[in-house]
Chains A and B, each alone.
Chain A
Amino acid sequence: MRKIVSLIVTAMLCTVMVFAQNRNISGVVTDASGKAIPFASITVKGTKIGATADNEGRFALNNIKSGAILVISSAGFNPKEINTENLTTLSIELPASSDASLKEVIVTTGYGIKKSLRSGSTNTQVVTSEQLNTIRNPNINEALAGKVAGIQLRAQSGAKLTSTGAIRLHGANTLTGSSGLLYVLDGNRVSPDDINTDDIDDVSLLQGPAAAAIFGPDGANGAMVITSKKAKKGGNGGLGIDVSLGVRVDNVYILPNYQNTFAGGDFYDMKKYTWQTGHPVEWKALDGKYYPDYSEDVSWGPRMMGQEYIPWYAWYGGHSRAYQTDKLIPHPDNARDYYETQIKNFNTVTFSKATDAMNIKLTYSNVDVDGLIYTTWLKRNQLTGNASFDLSNRLTAAINFNVIGQKSSGDFNDAYANASSGSFNQWFHRDLDMGIIKELKDLKTTRGYQASWNHAGPETYSNTPAGEKAFLGPYYWQNFYSAYDQCIQLNNFSKIIGDASLTYKITKDLRIRGNYRMTDINSYGELRVKSDVTDMTFPSQAVFGLVKGGYRSNTNISHDEHIEVVAVFQKNIKDFNIGVTTGWDFHRVRAHANSGSTSDGFNTPNLFTLANSKGTIASNDFRFLQKDRGFFAATTYSWRKYLNADITVRNDWTSTFPPGDNNNIFSKSFGLSFIFSDLLKDQMPWLTLGKIRGSWGEVPQSLAAYQYPGSLYTQGAIQWTGNFQQFTNSARVDSAIRGAVATDRNVGIDLAFMKNRIGLSVTYTERNNKNFPVRIPISLTSGISSLLTNAGEINFKGIDFTLNVKPVRIDNFSWEINANLGRTLSNKVIDVDGKPQSDWDGSTGNPVTAPPFTTVETATFGPSLRSTEGQQWGILWGNGIKRDAQGNPLLNTDGTYVYDKNVNFGSVLPDFTGGVQNTFTIFKDFTVNVNIDFSKGGIFYSTSTKWGNHTGVLIGSATTNDKGNSIRDAVADGGGIHVFGVDAVTLKPVDYYVPARDYLNGSTNTFDNDIFDLTFVKLREVAVGYNIPVTKLGNLNKWVKRANFSITANNLWLIYAKQKDFDPSEISNQSGEGGQFPGLRGVGANLKISF
């Protein structure tokens, strides 16, 4: 290894030795807004002498005669001639040409490297600020949905304020799913959370290890490299002020289809209440009236026909509706009524100034959200800035910083049986009036028990504390408002991300830069559960296990730093251009996490501090330290600009590997591109660009700190009357453990016609991920439960298409279409554990023997997500209907399904995903954006429909059968669900009417009816923008340079979905949803003003 690195270094050294000339003229080329034009061409008129500007638009020329005329040109700009006279430094502004679309697109990779997309060899896509910010989505992942080929955004409901969604780039790359894309903002590794989308200049998505090898192990899954806006020269003495004001209002859009015919409870016939001695005298008013079953949280109750009944709240005193009956009528919008209007304000102000020698920019932004779910909110303040100063003509100092403070409140858990959607969709009474529930949220019994819609029947009452609690205390569920009032979750974090650098220009071709980068994260969270939660009849249903009141506090701090030294060399030698970026990156991260929670309730009610714990405080602390040392060289060789090669090598040593001679990680990539259109300019003038490219890369990954060697013994935190405890760890780690290895190779063709009126790109990718650290189970009788070792392999093959068309471009109207599609050809699991015929079970996290599972009984609650050798990744396996060879269900003689424990329902991965963005420009000042994204194929499992039908809440439990009768009617009366199939024994066709409850409860054991297609087409973003003509606004134009007003909409229309009860683009977890929050639709307005 050492040899390889030395060799590279020597090679670089030799390359560097070649230059030896003097310098006369240097300069920088920018566009009208002051933004650098990288790779502009500079030639001395009438000679062959010339240079190419670097990625910051800087160039230098030597031995130039005084008075020589320079011709500066760049695609997409009008060329300019400059008489140098006696000048030695120049600042040249190129005017945009009428063909601005020919402008070079710049790809940013690691360590400040910028390349021309035109000549690039890797699979990389660039998204500009305008494309990203159609509707000013403050979340980078969601802003990218449908805009990049090969990604699948797995978004979450907009009600989950702290979620950024997840991006699955080219399918699954581990046995457990898709692991992280690296996010890099101005050279600093960040989380998607840290990025202010208003502040983004452009995004380069480096798809896979071949494109991202320069980042070493962190780049194994590709990288999203984001460049923030910089100050640009121009206007008011270089000072710019930009203000962007926005508001967005979201409301519930997608909810499941509820039934509105039958009320809550377990029995159809209401019971008659008879007052008896010992009951409160006020209840005499209810004597002889009828009441439904309040205690079972299902809706198999009486038909709602406006009949008189005793509602749940009539039994409680102390409010205006006490002791009165009401009419039993449907409340079809009760779930919808619970959700509030979500209002988001987000404002940004930027101050910037740029001169020849410096530029500085300061951005403050603020986000304030009042959430859809009761008690939820988010507030965020972010200050970002960057500055660069030329300290001398050789030395430049620069800084970037990003300071974020965010606070949020809310329980954003939308899993099974959560306290809002989990109840509405799964365990609920359809007759509830949400307005009354809200009105009575603070209602308590005389002895202080919380009132709930879900309480027992009066037969359980006695005039004692226990008797009162047994009847009037919450049974399974609390009031939906008090449940959230009583459980407050607060999360806060502050981050400081930044770097400082010094760049020294040694010669015109060689620069050295030193960077110190740092990310400091400080976060803390609190969970406060009020003592009132004691009053649950079934405290196992109470939230978080803190049933008698509780408090949890957690604090995390981490400090992450990089020290980089990078040399950048760029040189033209006749027809060759050589670019080298080489250096080292030393990384160190130290983290510390503490958490503590009370146990057994509080001593003083509702005093939220650990010291108030009744039982022993449960605590946890975790520290880690990791160091990595990386050396890299990224080289680009170009011949006459049309033949380009990229070679990147990097070696890292990491503290996380077993020590020894081989604790290194060697990453490499190679790419080649050939712009054949440059040779065909004369024959095919309509061919603006024709390029073929191919690249290959292999990047091994690192391990987490302390994963090796693992711990041999552990100590329990809680003592038994003064005796502490230790345990022997049976999980072991292989002494040769390594990280997984990612390899990809791809070939592509990029074509552009008629001066970029039409552009088309096609890329074929094959990726291989293998040798994951996997826990292989061993027979427990050995005393070792599992060994962490390297095994497993997954392949991906797919094709990405992007298409850019400008079908109409006339004076007052233009239309531009950007479309893309990522097609997965296969995403197969080759190996799981190094043994033949295996399968990775998502529910246990272990490899198991492969199907057919003669002995494996799958979970009865839902299918498990599996990686099965020889199959697509992400198979849902589980109990399904057993079928004959023709696919007919086998039926028992009572009409119920015969079930098969081992049904393969298919893969959760879509076949293809993509999007279409339309931009219409009308009368130059009106812009309309219409962005559609779509996904085809893949499945998900819905826990909500499973239980919502079981409990009689959803429409599936209250339909009409083919006889025209309610399926809830007795079979003898013509009711029941009509089931077709073949007899399990005779295999002859049979059909039965099965009582609805038997069918829906029995079907709990089969998942067929609750597995749905993920396919959707969605009108995700619409924006109508207007450039306010400030020049016509009299005196205002002295102050205002530009102003733009836009109206936006997000999730405007779910155009197509096979299952419309849940937003298929927001499925809450990999295998499906468990009670997910509703889909939201938002309308917003934005005003941007530049001063």
Chain B
Amino acid sequence: MKMKNNLIKIAFFFMGLATLTGCKKIKDFGDTNVNPADINDPSTYAVLTGVLTGISGWATDGAATVWVQYASESQYPGNGLYAVPQFGMGTYTGSLLNLKTIIDQNKGADEVAAARVLTQYIYWHLTDALGDIPYSDALKGAAAKYDKQEDIYKGMIAELKAAKAQFVDNGALKGDILNGNNVAKWKLFANSLRAMMALQLSKRYPGAAEYAATEFKAALADGVIETNANNIQLVFPGGDYKNPYFLAHETNRDNGESVFIYNLLNGFGDGRQAAFGSSNVPVIYGVKEATINQWIKDNPNWSRLLADNKRLATTPVVMLSAAQLYLARAEAAVRGWTAEDKTAMLTAGVNASFGQWGIALPAAGYFTQSGVILDGTNDLKKVCEQAYLASFPNGRAGWNIYRRTGYPVLTPAPDPLNAAHTTIPRRYTFALGGSSEYSLNPEGIASSIATLSPASDEQESKMWWDK
């Protein structure tokens, strides 16, 4: 009898086991695997803020700043000695993907339009760094095909027009730490970008009736930045977000004011030197590590990049300024694209630049000196030198002027690292490595390299608009 009871108990145990395993519930864990910290519905205005916190990085490109001799490397020379500059595709999965989220989520017209403007701003810098890049086919879930730079430029200009038209200014724009939710400023930004992009095509479309001049004039007609108050700049709040030049100086002291720009300013008796450097001992350029290290030891008072009071934690980084636009208009006038008064444009540009840096405006004599006055001799050079000074320390802006016009006339580094790379780079090279396009999108990258001149992925090769 007792045995029987035991048997029943055992049978129950195993039946219980069998029931449990057979039960659907055993494999159902409900929401156990849902991470409570995950977000499924993004706040697009917060995504916009996220993109904008890093947006000024394009205006503070350290390599370009050194190439155009705004800065000299004071400790670990590399860029200034023409080490191979590589450029990866991280922007696609970073800012561009975030902007695509804002556009796809479509939660407000102004927000979407702003995201479209920023997308073009970024593509502009990407294509100017590399040449042909993925544009129309990008961010679609598979390795993208590469677009021709000509198509990218035309696409960007068209898209900026469309984006500008999309703004409704209904007060719904939020999270805009760049323009303070000011839609009018976004429109100026979009138009000004079009003007600068069009001007960049001057080698391909030199004529006054060609695509570039036409688009330049159309942008002007829509209204561009004309006052420093409308400069597109990222104002750093300090604290957790400090000005990048401040941070770089605090930790590394890697960059000093280059002797080239110092001499250029000095030649003009230009008051902006008080803002551009910290002393009157500019740093020698393009020499090898041992030489610069010794020089720095011998010259403890070397001029840092930017004066101490222009390199505060809260100093804004200017991405696009009234001065740059005026000087672009002066260049367009010199080129005969527009009928604007080239001297008036140049004067307005220079004054805007001095104003931007808080330096007392130059005396009239500044504009009549032979290196500045637009008297029909070397007018393009003079305009470009002023544009170069007005763009300081935005290396990409200076580099675009240099590549477009050949001005200012720069002497390459005396001690290049490699005998194969002795001139100022015309582009970045595609990044190497396991996660690079070389590994993961070889057909795409090959199509891009084929359009370079010469057709090899070198920093000296020229892209479409540079040919």
Contact = CB atoms under 8 A, between A and B. Distances in A.
Interface in B430-444: 432-441, 444
> Chain A contact residues (Cβ within 8 angstroms of B): what range?
35 or more
B386 interface: no
The winner among B40, B297, B438 for most chain A CB atoms within 10 A is B297
B50 A782 contact: no
A655 interface: yes
Contacts of B441: 779, 781
B354 to A, nearest CB: 29
Contacts of B10: 13, 16, 506, 510, 567
Contact of B6 (A457, A506, A540): A506
B300 A726 contact: no
B218 to A, nearest CB: 30
A713 interface: yes
Given A17-B7, A780-B435, A783-B100, A627 B32 contact: yes
Given A778-B143, A782-B143, A616 B240 contact: yes
A470 B14 CA distance: 80
Contact of A848 (B49, B88, B434): B434
A631 B237 contact: no
Interface string A684-721: 00000000000000000000011010011111101111
Given A708-B33, A780-B88, A781-B441, A470 B300 contact: yes
A804 interface: no
Contact of A512 (B13, B46, B93): B13
Given A6-B21, A470-B300, A727-B47, A781 B32 contact: no
B35 A781 contact: no
A55 interface: no
A629 B24 CA distance: 12
B409 interface: no
A364 to B, nearest CB: 39
A724 B49 contact: yes
Interface in B31-61: 32-40, 42-43, 46-47, 49-50, 52-53
Contacts of A621: 37
B365 interface: no
Interface stretch (A220-228, A373-381, A656-664): A656-664
Contacts, number: 229
Contact of A567 (B7, B13, B438, B440): B13
A1058 interface: no
Given A2-B22, A711-B39, A507 B6 contact: yes
Contacts of A622: 37
A730 interface: yes
Contacts of A730: 93-94, 97
Interface in A818-849: 839, 841, 844, 846-849
Given A584-B17, A782-B139, A706 B250 contact: no
B175 interface: yes
B179 to A, nearest CB: 13
A709 to B, nearest CB: 8
Contacts of A17: 7
A728 interface: yes
A1036 to B, nearest CB: 54
B152 to A, nearest CB: 13
Interface in A166-207: none
Given A459-B300, A584-B17, A785-B93, A721 B98 contact: no
Contact of A782 (B27, B43, B144, B433): B144
A9 interface: yes
B93 A784 contact: yes
A1025 B109 CA distance: 84
Contact of B50 (A470, A625, A716): A716
B300 A460 contact: yes
Interface in A614-653: 615-616, 621-627, 629, 631, 651, 653
B90 interface: yes
A138 interface: no
A31 interface: no
A790 B47 CA distance: 31
A393 interface: no
Contacts of A784: 93, 141
Contacts of A844: 433-435
A659 B92 contact: no
Contacts of B134: 781
Given A721-B237, A781-B138, A728 B17 contact: no
A539 B249 CA distance: 11
B444 A779 contact: yes
Nearest to B38: A711
A812 interface: no
A1037 interface: no
A656 B29 CA distance: 9
A937 interface: no
B268 interface: no
A781 B92 contact: yes
B93 A2 contact: no
Contacts of B309: none
Interface in A465-516: 470, 506-507, 510, 512
A783 B92 contact: yes
Contact of A727 (B22, B98, B437): B98
A726 B6 contact: no
Interface string A599-619: 110000000000000011000
A6 B433 contact: no
B93 A726 contact: no
B97 to A, nearest CB: 5
Interface of B: 3, 6-7, 9-11, 13-14, 17-18, 20-22, 26-29, 32-40, 42-43, 46-47, 49-50, 52-53, 88-90, 92-94, 96-98, 100-101, 133-134, 137-144, 175, 177, 237, 239-241, 250-252, 297, 300, 432-441, 444
Q: Which 9 A-B pairs have the closest CB atoms?
A: A848-B434, A779-B143, A730-B93, A783-B139, A655-B29, A725-B50, A780-B89, A781-B144, A655-B32
27 contacts: A6-B21, A9-B14, A12-B14, A13-B11, A20-B3, A507-B3, A539-B251, A599-B240, A616-B239, A655-B33, A659-B29, A712-B39, A713-B101, A720-B240, A728-B42, A778-B440, A779-B437, A779-B441, A780-B88, A780-B437, A781-B92, A781-B441, A783-B97, A844-B435, A848-B434, A849-B438, A855-B436
